Amino acid sequence: MRKIYFALLFISIPFLLQAQKTTIKSDTVQDKYSVATNPFWDNWFVSLQGGSSMFFGNHDKQMKFMDRQSLVYELNFGKRFTPVVGVRVGANAGQWNGLTQIGNLSHSTGERYSKIPWDGYWLEIQKLKYVHLHGDVLFNLSNLFYGYKEDRFYEISPYVGLGWMVSYEQPKTREVSAYKALLNLDEPRL
């Protein structure tokens, strides 16, 4: 009798455990294309970037490729309001290297460029140090067309922006900038 009792108890354990499960059905369906906004302090980001810059002016094609390269640094702060739309503000700074005609005092160093076959007899080295303050609106096309996916490997995000560019060397210049660009996001998520 004792063996039958333990056998019945052993057989009934899965049924008893299953009775402890509760399933709650929700009337709402989670749509991957739905838009949910978050509290103000969520989804902020900071980006620090560095790279190379090259200026395209009238006489820069006569300058050697590596002589035109210069370092650029950028710092941005931004917020994603939805998985598709975000904004950021930032600043970048660097130096443009190029060539200008002799006598054109627009950021000329006064030094003749001698690395071309005809000895650069009418070209001088041009350098321009600048700071660019800007604001951008970012659009995440991957989330727009394919829905939000937290562990997506690659995202593409075009953006448009307005900025204020300042050259702090003589002759000092201040210009408004408007631009559109493409941001490719393939960095690992933390």
Are the CB atoms for 149 and 189 separated by under 8 Å? no
Q: What are the domain boundaries of the chain?
A: 44-185
Tens digit of pLDDT for each residue in 54-64? 877 777 777 77
The residue ranges of the chain whose pLDDT is under 70 are 1-37, 103-105, 110, 116-121, 185-190
Tens digit of pLDDT for each residue in 91-129? 999 988 888 777 666 777 767 777 766 654 678 778 888
Using the structure block, give the residue that is written with the tokens 């922006």: 161
